[in-house]
Amino acid sequence: MRRADPVRTVENDRLSVRVYATRHDMGAAAADHAAGHLRAATAGRGRARVVFASAPSQVEFLAALVNAADIDWGRVTAFHLDEYLDLPPRAPQAFGQFLRAHLFDRVRPGTVSLLDGAAADARAEAERYARLLSAAPLDVACVGIGENGHLAFNEPGAADFDDPDQVRIVTIDERSRAQQVHDGCFARVNDVPTRALTLTVPAIMRAAAVTCIVPGPTKREALRRMVRGPVSTECPASVLRSHPAAVVFADVEAAADL
């Protein structure tokens, strides 16, 4: 089936934003983009390494990726961008659980390396995960952005574009915690953890390609700041404008102010 074309494309610096009429079309196009990089990596080197975001904004993309043809998932090593700390083990809100349900249990990658948010020593867990990431470069990072412009849990004003670490323990911004309630993941803000493990900005930027999925009206302000505002840690997602191979896939609601 032929994929829908974008209704328009917006560019600034090195970043291309492809805008689609519906979330379904956006997700299908983003899946084609990410799948192409996975196929190229497995064909060229016999393996691929990819990291995924976990959020309701990624549902259409992940559903389309499950159905993408000719990905040799057995040759794929999969990571995820971030994970709450202080949740009970296997809590349904855990990002690893989300990715298992929406992707990993359905396509069975050869290796799935998850952050352990229930680890007794969070610092040691960050170091363990950083060693796994350092084993070889990422071929593609599949990311979203927060309502406050965060990238993973690299929060406004706290993100470090030159962070020497690959994985860090962070405090979750109040607006990010509120977003988890808006998304239906938690009943109250007080239920949302205040700490997380996250890949840092440099860890994400080292990926050879970035597929960024941004749907919905609640992301409109963040997407505008990301694309039209200054490149600044006040909107961490704006750093993607300096990536050599980052593409944003948005729907018309998210891109209304571009």
* Reported pTM: 0.96
Q: What is the C-alpha separation between 155 and 170, in angstroms, rounded?
A: 9
Catalytic position from the list 33, 37, 150, 243: 150
Any catalytic annotation for residue 174? Answer: no
Any catalytic annotation for residue 190? Answer: no
Residue-wise pLDDT for 188-219, tens only, equals 999 999 999 999 999 999 999 999 999 999 99
Domains of the chain plus CATH, in order, are 43-251 (3.40.50.1360)
Any catalytic annotation for residue 148? Answer: yes
Residue-wise pLDDT for 223-238, tens only, equals 999 999 999 999 999 9
- Residue 16: name the closest of 232, 235, 212 by CA: 212
Catalytic position from the list 116, 148, 154, 251: 148
CB atoms under 10 Å from CB of 54, counted, come to 26
CB atoms under 10 Å from CB of 3, counted, come to 12
Any catalytic annotation for residue 147? Answer: no
